[in-house]
C-alpha cells in the first residue's frame, strides 16, 4: 500500500484549484477508498488553516471538515522524536518550519512526501512526489 505525507502547499493547491491540485485530489480519493494511507502533520494543518482564514474566513471550518473526511491521519507534535527530526531538517537546511515538519513526518512514517515547488525539500533522502 502506498503511504504519503502532504505538505501544506499541496493541499492549498487543491483547495484553490491551482496547478497540481488535480494530483492532490486523486491522491485524497485513494486515501478515502483505502488504497493509500495519507498523513499530514498538525503544523501543516495549522498553515492551511491560517492561509484559508486570511482568504475566506467563512469557508475555513468547512474546508477543514472536508479534508478530514478523506481520512488523512493527522500527526500531532508530541515528545516522540518527530519534533527533534524537524529541528534537524530546519537546522541543516534553509526551509520553513512547516516544511521541516512535513519532511520529518514523511521520514518517521516512511512515506513519500507530496510537495509543490519547494526546492529546499530536494536531497533530503526522502522520496518526493512533486505536483508542479
The domain that contains 95 carries what CATH number?
3.40.50.1010
pLDDT tens by residue, 22-51? 999 999 999 999 999 999 999 999 999 999
For 123, the grid coordinates are: 536531497
Note down the domain range covering 6: 2-130
Burial letters for 54-93: b for 16+ Cβ neighbours within 10 Å, e otherwise? Answer: eeeeeebeebeeebeebebeebeeeeeebbebbeebbeee
Cα separation, 131 vs 21, in Å, equals 7
* End-to-end Cα, the chain, rounded Å: 24
Q: What is the pTM of this model?
A: 0.94
Q: What is the count of structural domains for the chain?
A: 1
Higher local confidence (pLDDT), 85 or 59 = 85
The string of pLDDT tens digits covering residues 57-75 is 888 989 989 999 999 999 9
Amino acid at each position: 500500500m502506498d503511504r504519503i505525507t502532504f505538505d501544506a502547499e499541496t493541499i492549498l493547491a487543491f483547495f484553490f484549484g491551482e496547478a497540481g491540485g488535480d494530483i492532490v485530489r486523486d491522491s485524497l480519493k485513494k486515501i478515502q477508498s483505502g488504497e493509500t494511507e495519507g498523513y499530514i502533520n498538525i503544523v501543516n494543518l495549522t498553515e492551511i488553516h491560517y492561509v484559508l482564514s486570511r482568504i475566506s474566513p467563512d469557508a475555513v471550518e468547512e474546508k477543514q471538515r472536508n479534508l478530514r473526511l478523506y481520512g488523512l491521519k493527522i500527526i500531532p507534535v508530541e515528545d516522540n522524536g518527530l519534533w527533534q527530526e524537524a529541528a534537524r531538517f530546519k537546522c541543516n537546511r534553509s526551509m520553513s518550519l512547516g516544511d521541516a515538519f512535513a519532511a520529518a513526518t514523511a521520514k518517521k512514517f516512511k512515506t513519500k512526501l507530496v510537495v509543490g515547488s519547494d526546492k529546499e525539500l530536494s536531497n533530503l533522502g526522502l522520496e518526493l512526489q512533486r505536483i508542479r
